[in-house]
Structure 1
Amino acid sequence: MSRIGRKEIIIPKNIEVIINQSEIFVKGNKGTLYYKVSELIEIGRQNNVIKLTKKKKTQKAQAIHGLSRSIINNMIHGVSKGFEKKLVIQGVGYRSQMEEKNLILNMGYSHPVKIEPPKDINIKVENNTNIFISGINKETVGQIAAKIRSVRPPEPYKGKGIRYENETVKRKVGKAGK
């Protein structure tokens, strides 16, 4: 049984939620998000509380029940407070910079890597080594952060590369010299 799907979603005062059959629109001070819920799930609203229920007791409905609740909850959190990911670059000669809205990464390759963010994502660079990614959609913020990290993931011997702020990299011992 989905315990997450049974939890109620409380709507804050400054958020406007419009439910139209299986479509949900969430509008807040940071922007607007839209989601189409599966036919297996029914959305109910009473005052400032949203509750999701399954129409059928199938395994597919069970899986989508908790997923839909999490997505709607993240939408409400995103339009009110937003989401942010922080990346840190470690390594000699590795740096990043902003060129208009594009992120330019110099990561030891023969060419700089250029990343163009979607229109609803903001990227800021601080000290050439700290990258801040923010936006209202949790999925796209995480996807862009993963795309930037995949340019040069942290390697286990010296720990060089791009990592999330609180990520720990298990270090390996190099080969023993004679």
Structure 2
Amino acid sequence: MSRIGKKPVELPSGVSASLNGQTVEVKGPKGTRSFTATDDVTITMDGNTVTVAPRGTSKRARQQWGMTRSMIENLGVGVSTGFKKELEIQGVGYRAAIQGNILKLSLGYSHEVNFEVPAGVTVACPKQTEITVEGIDQQLVGQVAANIREWRRPEPYKGKGIRYKGEFIFRKEGKKK
């Protein structure tokens, strides 16, 4: 039994949802998002509460039950407060700057890296060594942050690179003489 799927989804205040077949559309102050569930689950709405139940006892129905409930909850959180990922840059001469829709990264390569920010996400650089990725789509925010981090992952010897804020990097000792 899904422990997550059993809990009903309480939508935050200021957020409205509509159900059309298997598609849930959520509107809030930050925008509109929708999710289409598979036919393995039944979705019901009662005021500002959304309930998900499996159709049958198959393994796929039970898998979709908890996943659908989590997706609907993430829609509500996204359109009300949004999602945010923070990255920090460590390394001598490593820095970031935003110019219009392009994030310019100096990461020790022979050239500057120009990262084009996709639609639906806002990227800000409060400091030269900090990058903030925000948006209403949790998957898109996480993917953009991972794509930025991929340009220079933190290395284990000196810890230089782009890391998530608060991420622990296991450090290695290096050569001994």
Q: TM-score, normalization: structure 1?
A: 0.96
**Aligned CA-pair RMSD:** 0.9
Within-5 A mapping of 1:115-154: 115-154=115-154
The separation in 2 between residues aligned to 1:50 and 1:9, in whole angstroms, is 5
The separation in 1 between residues aligned to 2:81 and 2:100, in whole angstroms, is 25
The separation in 1 between residues aligned to 2:163 and 2:137, in whole angstroms, is 21
**CA offsets per residue over residues 6-25 of structure 1, 9 Å max, x none?**
11100223111010010011
The separation in 1 between residues aligned to 2:103 and 2:71, in whole angstroms, is 28
Structure 1: gaps spanning 5 or more residues? none
Check whether the contact 2:16–2:48 (CA below 8 A) recurs between aligned residues: no
Structure 2: gaps spanning 5 or more residues? none
Check whether the contact 2:17–2:48 (CA below 8 A) recurs between aligned residues: no
State yes or no: 1:22 paired with 2:28: no
Cross-structure match for 2:5: 5
**CA offsets per residue over residues 73-116 of structure 1, 9 Å max, x none?**
01100100111110000000111111111111111112222222
The separation in 2 between residues aligned to 1:115 and 1:60, in whole angstroms, is 38
Secondary structure, in 3 states, of the residue corresponding to 1:126?
Answer: coil
Q: TM-score, normalization: structure 2?
A: 0.97
Within-5 A mapping of 1:28-177: 28-177=28-177
**CA offsets per residue over residues 102-154 of structure 1, 9 Å max, x none?**
11111111222222222110000122110011001111001101111111010
Letter in 1 for 2:19: I
| Misfit runs of 4+, over 2 Å | none
The separation in 2 between residues aligned to 1:29 and 1:162, in whole angstroms, is 32
Letter in 2 for 1:104: K
Aligned-pair identity (%): 41
Across the two proteins, how many residue pairs are aligned to each other? 177
